[in-house]
Amino acid sequence: MAKQTLIINFKTYEQSTGGKAVKLAKIAEKIAKATKVEIIVAVQAADVYRVSKAVKIPVFVQHMDAIDYGQYTGWILPESVKANGGSGCLINHSEHKLNVDVIEGIVKRAKKLGLRTCVCANDAEIGAALSSLKPEFVAVEPPELIGGDISVSTADPKLVVNSVRQICDVNKAEKVLVGAGIKTKDDVVKSVQLGARGILVASGIVKSKNPELAIKEMAEGLK
């Protein structure tokens, strides 16, 4: 069975920017080694070099663009992501929504460079549609639950079940992740019991009073 995956989205929180991003990534790496769970950190593009130099776990950027070398001031070049140690990217997070044609372009550019991809979707139907692009991960996150206190596995368990079924009907090779409101080991265990192959989490770890304990408990929930 494929290894379960925990993706930690650092967003642009103060607790996960610059040197603090390195510190949090090192904690994630330590727990990944101890639990044998795949832990991926998704950092700001400005932090990808420093973080990737400090840890051996996969480091994703939170976005990149489907562009080539040229006149693209302010855009994120996939080749630059790879050259600076990035191993993949999040695409279409609810806080950075994209059109389908743009998502497709990013996935294609990533595959060409050997970068991994996690495409985000609001619901099962969108997740299934984006699954046809064949990213490695599809992460389903209801936007209304993101950053809240109720997890998707508790608030809408049918969403998790339907997402797994519909996405795997399109592409059985993909790993379906779920996210939004996940903060405890129990939230993670419920998600796995409902069929998810991992979770995408942000504030539940980054803004926790004890991030190390939060990562450890979530990773143990995936074992």
Residue of 38, 63, 104, 141 with catalytic role: 141
Check if 212 is active-site. no
CA 100 to chain CA centroid, nearest Å: 18
Q: In this structure, how many other beta carbons lie within 10 angstroms of the beta carbon of residue 109?
A: 21
Does the annotation mark 141 as catalytic?
yes
Pick the closest to residue 10 from 55, 59, 68, 50 (CA basis). Answer: 59
What are the structure tokens assigned to 119, written together?
């495409």
Q: Which residue matches tokens 């991926």?
A: 40
Q: What does DSSP assign to residue 4?
A: P
Contacts of 205 (CB under 8 A, 6+ apart): 8, 211, 214, 215, 218
- Candidate list 38, 63, 93, 104, residue with the active-site label: 93
Residue 178 contacts residue 7 (beta carbons within 8 Å): no
| φ/ψ of residue 110, rounded to 5 | -65, -45
Q: Which residues are known catalytic residues?
A: 93, 141
